[in-house]
Amino acid sequence: MAVPHLTVSVDERSRLAKARLGEVVLGKWRLERLIGLGGMAAVFEAVHRNGSRVAIKILHPDLAGSEEMRERFLAEGYAANRVAHPGVVTVRDEGTTPDGAVFLVMDLLSGRTLAQRLEEGTKPFSVGEVLEIATQLLDVLVQAHGRGVVHRDIKPENVLLTPEGRVRLLDFGIARVDSAARSQDTALGTTLGTPAFMSPEQAFGHWEDVDGRSDLWALGATMYLLLSGAPVRDAGSDLDQLLCAMTRPVVSLGDVAALPRSVVAVVDRALAFHRDDRFPDARSMQLALRAVLDELSAPASLATLPPPSIEPVAVSLRTPRPERAHHRASVTTVRPVAASAAPSPVASGGSKPGALPFFVSLGFAVGISIVVAARLGVQQPGVEGAPDRAPAAATPAFVSPAVEPPTAPTPATASAGPPRSSASVAPRRTPHARPGRAGADRSGAGARPVLNSFSE
């Protein structure tokens, strides 16, 4: 759009465009439906006499009197065809209406523009959809910029979404085709483009600085609007928009919408006030967007979980081992009483190292208590018929042969001897009691590393 050339209202342009319905152009194209109005032209659906359908774009009557605008309008066909990309509409023909308005015959596309979808408000744009739209547009810009074409008017009204999900970039009416157009822009002294989507250098009219990075800025502004629902600038009139464009950097997208940081980073860079701070070219921005798309499309379980490790398994198997050890000990404490010389293989295998001395010591204590009780029972004076030697049969398991004289008696003699007093038994308990206490301490310490091995 060339801002200074707006000499009539939109309503008047709409009225004049509708008055053309039914007109036959070049004797073969009948204008059947008004598709839309742009800054420079009205677009119609037309039917050829053989039944084929096309789109015909006719320059507004109030601009048709300017030779410069006529040339610029017709240049759109050359610019679009020079890009030669599936995302750009092909221009088939050109001509002049009976009243002197120039027109272009173009391929007819079905679909809705981004602006139309925003106005409907029925289906908001998702982050993934916006990134995909931008990626397709950048594919067009890669080819356009590579062939010396800068669009200079990227905005929601000029981006069409087909029913198949393809993106088409429309309206190359103010595109700059090569360096020759720069001198023409300077001579015209006009501000070309749509103020709400103009880069700072474009708003200033510094045409020597307007290049592919200006298109990237406009694309960033379009993404900003689609993602946040807010324009990049809070300004009313076109003049206010131009002043803001020339003086104020854009507020970060992250300050107006809750979006992934990677998305915000790409859009903010595209909207940098100084063009040298933006992406250097369309391909660089496209690669950045593809990386963000890959990041967002990765499964959440793979994107958020740490690298595989056995530690989670160890933690999930944590058990209160001290309680289990104590439970087993309470079941097997009587076993050492029957064999004090060597620990039972079952007990040693089922207990932790250092726990067996405690069990043996406990067994000795129980056995000594039995001996003492038996001794006291034999010597009680009020008991009649108590056997004098009966308790002696239980004592050999607790009496060490080391206490006998060098000429050790036979087992029968030892069992026939008088039972020893509790004082004589105590020294035999002491050597076993000390390892038992030490073993109990080691058992408690030994349980801690087992738990730590699961928690480390």
Active site residues: 153
DSSP code per residue over 15-53: HHHHTTTT-EETTTEEEEEEEEE-SSEEEEEEEETTS-E
Backbone angles phi, psi at 166, to 5 degrees: -90, 155
Task: Give backbone dihedrals phi and psi of 409, rounded to 5 degrees, phi first.
Answer: -70, 165
Distance CA 249, CA 224 (A): 14
Total number of residues shown for the chain: 456
- CA gap 106, 57 in Å, rounded: 8
Query: Maximum Cα–Cα distance for the chain, whole Å?
Result: 148
Per-residue DSSP letter, 150? B
Burial zone of 195 (CB within 10 Å; 0-12 exposed, 13-18 middle, 19+ buried): buried
Cβ atoms of 293 and 132 within 8 Å: the answer is yes
- Residue 253 near residue 260 (C-beta atoms within 8 A): no
Amino acid identity of 423?
A
Rounded distance between C-alpha atoms, residue 204 and residue 38, angstroms? 23
- List Cβ neighbours of 402 (8 Å cut-off, separation of 6 or more): none
How far apart, in whole angstroms, are the C-alpha atoms of residue 274 and residue 107? 37
CB contact set of 226 (below 8 Å; sequence gap of 6+): 114, 118, 125, 130, 133, 156
